[in-house]
Structure 1
Amino acid sequence: MARQIALFLTAVQFLTRIPVPSVAGFQPDWTARSARYFPLVGALVGLACGAVFVAASLVWSGWIAALAATAAGILITGAFHEDGLADTADGLGGGQTPTRRLEIMKDSRVGTFGALALILAILAKVGALAEIAPPSTSIPFAVMALVGAHAGGRGVAVLLMRLTSYAGDRAWTKVKPVADGATWAEVAVALGIAVLTLSPMLVMAPVAALGGVAGGVAGAAVIAASARRLIGGWVGDTLGAAEQAFEIGFLLVVAGLLTP
């Protein structure tokens, strides 16, 4: 149990800016092993965003509440996945060879493709969330959608770590053991957690929940297929981009199915 708590805290530290207690006996491979808890961290981020959405909805409605919730997620994670999306867009969109594309992704500067990807992604998430109206229950659909989107996005990222090969140079990897990917057991735990976070929505709006998952998976699959074709597999940036693609696809489809 102590090890699992340590791995969970490692996942929180890796994916967010939330302060966590020091983990005694930290090992370099704990970051990779903590991947099983990435969806749980995502669910907590989504829950926090949902709380902001509900609170903001008491004062504003529509786009302002949705923007506040989206901004909260960016602040909590330090734009961790958004940065991956921007780098992926710049690398895959601007490079002519796999080597050059990877070099562009390592560049901290944001180019035209990256800036456009960020703008469109934020607009899509804010617009979709603004369309999701809470039902007359104690748990707003907006909160459930945010939890499902964030948890599912992290779950898909863990799955891609197993399904495709690492394409970067291990010598330049910030967290080298992560390049080894996740085991199937860790993938199973991660996906199980993601499904559990979706269970309230699956009960209350099964069509919207399943449609959202399909939309999210489709978006992430486009990123994964493009990365595999253009650089030979995944790197941290493409996982971030896939996570963002899942969030966007999930929220857009859920909004479309729930909007009268």
Structure 2
Amino acid sequence: MKTQLNIFLTAVMFLTRLPVARFVRYDADYLSRSTVYFPLVGMIVGGLCSAVLWLLMQIFPLPRGLPLAVLCSMLASVLITGAFHEDGLADAADGFGGGMAPERVLEIMRDSRIGTYGAVALWFGLTLKFFLLTEISSFGFFYVAGVLMVAHTAARASSLWLIFRCRYVRSESATSKPFAGGVTMPRLLTGFAFALLVSIGLLQWQSVPVLIAFFIAVFGCERYFKSRIGGITGDALGAANQIVELSVYLALAAASNLAIQLPLPPLP
């Protein structure tokens, strides 16, 4: 039991800036095995963002205060994760946008400075997220809270699939290299089962558009990464995380509006 607690806290320590118990120390084996808990960590991040959103909704009158509440919720996500996945999105956009040969793409990704492609990707990603969450929030707090938890859970589940399906292409030591080969079939199925239960439990029938959006996004990322660099890097995983999260928001925003126009079951 204590070993599993250590493995879970290792996942928390890797994916977030949340404080963990002092007895948790870096261990490559624990880090490799912690992937099974990625979706759970995602749900926790989504729950914390929901709490911030609720608090701001109480402080600032709606509907005028809604954009500010959404913006603060997004800021909370960035602070909780240390912009971990946003950094991956920017680096991946710079690499794939500025390089043609796989070696050049990886070289650009390694550069810590942000370029034009990275800046544009970040701007579009954050702007799209803001407008989608504002739209979804108009359907009520409990609905958007469920959406946030499901989206963050699905986003972290995408890492399991990509690590399982793709080879790690960097030969040198890197942050995400210990995960290479760390996702076994049992861990993949466990993580996916948890993500599915979270989605069904919180969104009921709207889990269908979530699943469709998830698999379109993750299969698209897998195919693109393999065609461009032959596999994945940590930055590619971060980019996929953001793409899946946005895809879930987009699918649910569309499904929510469709539910109003058609005789579909009410929103959760």
Q: Which position in structure 2 is the counterpart of 1:199?
A: 200
Report 1:168-183 matches (<5 A).
168-169=170-171, 171-183=172-184
* Matches of 1:70 and 1:63, distance apart in 2: 11
Asked if the contact 1:152/1:246 (under 8 Å) is kept, the reply is yes
After superposition, give the CA deviation of every residue in 1:74-123 in whole Å (9 maximum; x if it has no partner). 11000001111111111111112101101111110111111111111111
In the alignment, what sits opposite 2:143? Answer: 141
Matches within 5 A, 1:70-149: 70-133=74-137, 140-149=142-151
Counterpart residue identity of residue 109, structure 1: R
Structure 2 CA distance for partners of 1:79 and 1:159, relative to 1, 3 Å: same
**Is 1:15 matched with 2:19?**
no
Match of 2:209 in 1: 211
Tell me how far apart the structure 2 counterparts of residues 25 and 49 of structure 1 sit (CA, whole Å). 27
Distance 1:222 1:93 in 2: 17
> What's the counterpart of residue 46 of structure 1?
46
Q: Alignment identity in percent? A: 37
In the superposition, the TM-score normalised over structure 1's length comes to 0.92
Q: What 5-or-longer segments of structure 2 have no aligned partner?
A: 261-268
Residue pair 1:9, 1:23 contacting (<8 A) in 2 also: no
- What secondary structure sits across from 2:180 in the alignment? helix
Relative to structure 2, which stretch is displaced further, 142-151 or 179-188?
179-188
Does structure 2 conserve the Cα–Cα contact (< 8 Å) formed by 1:29 and 1:178?
Answer: no
Measure, in 2, the Cα distance between the counterparts of 1:25 and 1:14.
Answer: 11
CA contact (8 A) 1:173 1:179 kept: no
Q: Aligned partners of 1:25, 1:72: CA distance in 2, in Å?
A: 26
- Aligned-residue Cα RMSD (Å) equals 1.7
Worse-superposed segment, 215-224 or 97-106: 215-224
Counterpart of 2:55 in 1: which secondary structure?
helix
SS state of the match for residue 48, structure 2? Answer: helix
Among residues 231, 234, 237, which one is paired with 1:233 in the alignment? 231
Number of residues of Structure 1 aligned to a counterpart in Structure 2: 254
Shift of 1:134: 6.0
Cα distance in 2 for residues equivalent to 1:147 and 1:229: 31
Equivalent residue, structure 2, for 1:161: 163
- Opposite residue 228 of structure 1, the aligned amino acid is K
Residue 57 (1) aligns with residue 61 (2): no
Structure 1: 5+ residue stretches without partners: none
After TM superposition, give the deviation of residue 24 of structure 1 in Å.
5.4
C-alpha separation in 2, matches of 1:106 and 1:121: 21
Whole-Å separation in 2 of the counterparts to 1:126 and 1:120: 10
Which residue identity is paired with 1:243? Answer: N
The 1:134/1:199 distance shift into structure 2, 3 A limit, reads farther
In 2: Cα distance, 1:215 partner to 1:163 partner? 19
1:49-94 per-residue CA deviation (whole Å, 9 max, x = no partner) reads 1111112222154322211111110110000011111111111111
Contact 2:36 2:190 in 1 (8 A): yes
What TM-score does the superposition give when structure 2 sets the normalisation length?
Answer: 0.89
Q: Which residue of 2 aligns with 1:185?
A: 186
Partner deviation per Cα, 1:146-197 (whole Å, 9 max, x = no partner): 000000110111111001111122x232354222341111111111221122
The aligned residue for residue 266 of structure 2 is none
Name the SS for the 2:28 alignment partner. coil
